[in-house]
Structure 1
């Protein structure tokens, strides 16, 4: 075999080798499968989960409050407080806190960097948290009572404010003091109306529950039993120790309903049941001058909204998840 033949054989071997490598490479490329979509989704969820854990750690443990965090919290509803099944979000808390902080800065010229300002901010944080908790309780209880607030009621209340302040002035004040838009302001009006309606309902129910007791006491004193003795044994007023004696009363000291009844009585007369903000009253006039009456009373107190809310807070097993003490002005 001459040199030329040897050279041709070597060339053929190289070509065969190159062809084999190319085929193997094509086979590897062909056999390489794309990343399964389920794995991609799983990796995505894992990334989101880890990101949320890190973010939650920053929010709850280290009380992050920078602009990026606050932007995220406006979108992602991280809970600040659990009121049974209802949630107060961190975003909601910070949004309202910023609004009230702005009110004190603009309206009261508060300096939150001063010692006095820091005390004010501490009180503001606590009051706001309590307010939001009470709103959730009232909303939940109002639903049970089938109490609702209509758009018409909100608009009527808004019109009253416009009549007093003028619409342009009112809108400017809302924006300047609280940085609220009109929908936020009207939502606040709705919450106030709902609170008043719930207060009226619980007051009415409590009066109904206690009316029979007061009627029985009225029957006793009008039947001749000693007023001072009945007052001492039953009245829930501080004056009970003195047999219900309030001393000389002039106009402007007590509720209008109380004074109207007292000044209409003659010495020795006893009123029917008089309802006031304090509760249910039985009034006796012992003596009378031109502008004063010597009065005794039996008072059976009716529940206040604050007392009712205090009871409900124990029932709702409230869990606060954020440390408001770590929030700085």
Structure 2
């Protein structure tokens, strides 16, 4: 249980400073640094230090606070620059990620809202308000970082040079690995079930219109997504956030108006426009998904099995089958069916990284073999079907260009990106007002911020710190 709660605490680590500020004496909220227009509070540093200490099996070194402050300064520099470069993070995107995090935490807690509120000491709505701006900052920082390093490319010569500079006795040793492809399909509800779902929403719509229940009450009672707890409220968002069918219906409504039944890839909706501010809207919805019957699953299973058989007899390639018959709602679709290892970001899986069902399926397969149809649940908990193909298998070995080119290429790229980002940080510090409290100016990691900053800024920083 302690481990689970540690995960929950880390899930909202981005908002820890504001939570700490509530529980610590007022003196903790001192400004200890400034980067452009962004301020760093002592409470932020102390909270991150406490978290790091709690996760470490040994006492933190004396320089830990200095290193953490350096990391916070980098984040604030990126955030400050994201504002100057007008990098936008929509309200809808923030709301979507907040809802996803809340849903995942509730999943750890067995869906218990009471347990959630007891752990965080406030309601779900208050928790979302607490975290919203911190999450927006986190997204902005990552987007800014991505925009800086996206232009970094590596050539074959750079990859070979990078590998050649690694001492022979320092070359990594790779365990046995496999590459796995998949063709995934989502069972679809039959026409009768779809009609029943539409009829159910139309009956709910009539009750709302008649005034026997409000839209918010109906959403809380019937809607089948995370927004139900908030009465279906999806927050403020701009064009481009929702799927086309939903967005077209939402933007055609007047404030206070409710739509008819709208179909999207997620199911069937009733939509209510709450408010409009120019091109930004705030909408609520009621979502009901048609029930997928055992017969629907079996029909999809037979279809996918026939596709797998055609691949086995070379009627067409696995890659063609992915594009022609697989769903484009899975990550592997845009990679010719190759599954990506979330632990490494590449397509190679060690045995321990594989889903157990996939591991036991491919254990006796030869390269190129295609499995029988397997059933699984996607991240939203929806039932899916897939067949997998064993595309490569390697034995344990020391890294080599011939066997591990893709990995070495990625390592080369990451090293180049890190150097490019470091150069960018050094350059941007010199163009940015930097203030650091005199208590931290002796930190080796922090000295670079003052040394790289403009001399006028350094003088201002010291003067500010001494006041």
| Structure with the bigger percentage of helix | 1
Question: TM-score, normalized by length of structure 1?
Answer: 0.43
**Greater Cα radius of gyration, structure 1 or 2:** 1
Question: TM-score, normalized by length of structure 2?
Answer: 0.32
